[in-house]
Amino acid sequence: MKKEHLKLTEADERYLTEFLSKGQASARVMRRAMALLQLHQGATLQAVAETLKVEHWTVSMWRNNYLKNGLELLQDKPRSGRPVEIDGKQRARITALACSETPVGRAKWSLRLLADKIVAP
């Protein structure tokens, strides 16, 4: 099997080595950094994948991403996440209600009571 090498710049190699020695990043980011260094040292995609316990196409994607964007691949891009369902006015209304007097016979507001009160006409 032909080895698929990656040639890091000296600055990138130095940065990754220092970055890994600090060990103050998420496991996901550390894994990407280790993969780049192992590829630079001549390991195959499959060997790196087995070492890091990921699929070989994942390592291939990291390599291609490095070639395209450099060390930007280490950081996660922002994700869109779940859309906001209630706006600031609605949130303020709920907070005000939760801080108000509780209904008769209740010691405190429950989520169910708040929900029922908010949707009531």
Q: What is the pLDDT of residue 92?
A: 93
CA-to-CA distance for 49 and 35, rounded, in angstroms?
8
pLDDT at 4: 55
Whether the model pTM is above 0.95: no
Would you write out the chain's pLDDT as a tens digit for each of its 121 residues?
555 578 888 999 999 999 999 888 888 999 999 999 999 998 999 999 999 999 999 999 999 999 998 998 888 888 888 888 888 898 999 999 999 999 899 999 999 999 898 888 7
Tell me what pLDDT residue 38 has: 93
What pLDDT, on the 0 to 100 scale, is given for residue 109? 92
